[in-house]
Amino acid sequence: MTTLQTLTILFLIGLNACNSTDKKIVSHNSSIDTTASIQNDTQHLPMTGELYEKSPQQIQEELKQDISDSINMVRTLELALKIVNKQKDKDNFILESDSLNIRYGYIFSLSVKHLIVNITFQYGIKADIYKLQDNRFVKVCSKDMAPLAYIGDTIQDVNGDNRVDYLFHWYPLSGCCLRDIYDVYLQKPNGDFAEEVEFINPNFSAKQKTIIGLRYGYEAPLYKYTWNGYKIDTIEYIYFPYSEKGNHFIRRKHEDENEKGEIIKHLPEEYKKYGYGND
């Protein structure tokens, strides 16, 4: 028995693995307007408590744990890649455990196979995406996050180009206000991914190629962005009236309260579609 076979057997003990050889076709129906709605009922609430000074022993123990986690994460990733290398000819392959999730196949494209590896340890979660190129795996996307902040990942077309994209969904552990965050990686025609674009409290409209959402903070404005290639352009910010006599909204081009802006009597209907201004 080879070393790889031994490692694979040890790794798969107690693992709930699911292999599928049926080809999974990604839907590219651009007529479907996909949205990621704001989650007001999130379970990831801000952490509270008094600050305290850690003892040298606590600092040393946490450092040891960090080093151990890093080593284990590297070893687990290496093992995951070895396992999937044996499954490259399959159309789809899934492997799951408490600390590892592997998804392989035609996930993002009908012509390019991708591999998503999610590894979770005590102090971190790591998500890596590879594409199969010239019979080898090439990393095209990577993201690290504290495990308590991580919510999940989503695959959907957010910019209306009929290519599905990768969304990394997380919620910061502290803060004053709603802060539902999506880090978006747009897929390129060759199966690579563009640089990360981060959105807070977004609603994505692939049909309109826009993003409507709420900025962070007290008295934060609504925003509307549009895609410009792999970047975004700002269309407008809309501020709510905050005085008792306020019966209008202010539309500005920039997120700057010193900018005079344009007074509008009613909130545009496209914002009401996502529940804004319905109170």
Residue 48 belongs to some domain of the structure: no
Domain boundary among 147, 163, 191: 147
Query: What is the model's pLDDT at position 220?
Result: 92
Same domain, 202 and 128: no
Same domain, 72 and 158: no
Domain boundary among 96, 129, 147: 147
Same domain, 276 and 159: yes
Contact 17, 96 (CB under 8 A): yes
Query: What is the model's pLDDT at position 69?
Result: 58
Residue 4 belongs to some domain of the structure: no
Residue 240 belongs to some domain of the structure: yes
Q: What is the DSSP string of the chain?
A: --HHHHHHHHHHTT-EEE---S--PPP--TTS-------TT-S-PPP-----PPPHHHHHHHHHHHHHHHHHHHHHHHHHHHHHHTTTTSSEEEEE-SSEEEEEESSS-SS--EEEEEEEETTEEEEEEEEEETTEEEEEEEEEE-TTTEEEEEEE-SSSSSS-EEEEEE--SS-SS---EEEEEPBPTTS-BPPPEEEESEEEETTTTEEEEE-SSTTPPEEEEEEETTEEEEEEEEEPP-STT---EEEESSS-TTS--EEESS--HHHHTTTTT--
**How many distinct structural domains can be found in the chain?**
2
Contact 115, 129 (CB under 8 A): yes
Query: What is the model's pLDDT at position 18?
Result: 37
Query: What is the model's pLDDT at position 71?
Result: 63
Residue 59 belongs to some domain of the structure: no
Same domain, 241 and 261: yes
Same domain, 204 and 98: no
Domain boundary among 110, 127, 147: 147
Mean pLDDT per 10-residue segment, the chain (279 residues) = 40 38 36 38 33 65 59 72 85 86 94 93 87 94 91 95 97 93 98 97 97 94 97 95 70 89 92 84
Residue 258 sits in which domain range? 149-279
Residue 210 belongs to some domain of the structure: yes
Query: What is the model's pLDDT at position 192?
Result: 98
Same domain, 173 and 124: no
Interval 201-215: pLDDT, tens: 999 999 999 999 999
Instruction: Name residues whose C-beta falls within 8 Å of residue 209's C-beta, 6 or more positions apart in sequence.
Output: 159, 160, 226, 227
Q: What's the CA angle centered on 225, arms 219 and 228, to 5 degrees?
A: 155
Residue 93 belongs to some domain of the structure: yes
Residue 43 belongs to some domain of the structure: no
- Residue labelled with tokens 């899934």: 94
Same domain, 161 and 108: no
Same domain, 153 and 143: no
